[in-house]
Chains A and B, each alone.
Chain A
Amino acid sequence: VKVLSSERIKVTEESHIVLVRQNAAQAAKKLGMGLLDQTKITTATSELARNIVRYARTGEVLIEQIESDGLSGLQITFKDEGPGMADLTSAMRDGFTTGGGMGLGLSGSKRLVDEFDIQSQVGVGTTVVIKKWKQH
């Protein structure tokens, strides 16, 4: 995977969620993704950025334009040094929530993207990496 461009955004308050998703939307549009894919990646980004604010309070989001095997796409990384999650299997399940939401943030986001990777360690933090490829 080759990184063509990248942009790092610090997330420290609720209003940054909009900033992050606007940047993701712009990047998806610039890449030439279809409107539906733009909407999906932007919505997933919104969910995951909100998770940072809700559970970790602060963190950062890295938006990268990538290329692999002739495919171009977006890779977005959400990194925080928050409380982390002990039970990722439960956390990925529909309806599981500790934050008072609908419990669709993680599982729902996963369904909107092509690749979804989550690493989390209690007391260390959580990193989520999503990828969406441009359809030909």
Chain B
Amino acid sequence: VVSIQEEMHDRLARTLQDELSERVYQTSAKGVLIDISTVQIVDAFIGRMIANIAGISGIMDARTVITGMQPAVAITLVEMGIVLPGVLTALNIEEGMQLLRDAPEQSS
């Protein structure tokens, strides 16, 4: 479970991708939950990092859930045409955890 509490600059996004992949491998995690409820901006670069995390985790048999995306961020992503393949979403951390517990075992 990762909660992003600071401004998502490019280096942080890249570090997040690398470190999460490493942790999924080390811990044999089955799920990755990233809470972005305090994040004001998700642009194409950050979106791609999130999609990458989901892709890499998926190959390592872990599912990725993004929780708490603000409506303005969601609308902006859709208008830009950014899709996040393989990324599950939930309104909050509790629902995200539930989703990871309930989700079928096959990878997305």
A contact set with B: CB distance below 8 Å: 14-15, 17-18, 21-22, 25, 35-36, 38-40, 42-43, 46-47, 50, 94, 101-102, 104-105, 107-109, 111-112
Contacts and interface: CB of A to CB of B under 8 A. Distances in A.
A46 B7 CA distance: 12
Question: Which secondary structure dominates chain A's binding surface?
Answer: helix
A65 B48 CA distance: 31
A22 B40 CA distance: 10
A38 B80 CA distance: 15
Contacts, number: 71
24 contacts: A14-B9, A18-B7, A18-B9, A38-B72, A39-B41, A39-B70, A39-B72, A39-B75, A40-B76, A40-B79, A46-B43, A46-B45, A47-B43, A47-B44, A50-B10, A94-B81, A101-B45, A102-B44, A104-B80, A105-B44, A108-B81, A111-B79, A112-B76, A112-B79
B100 to A, nearest CB: 26
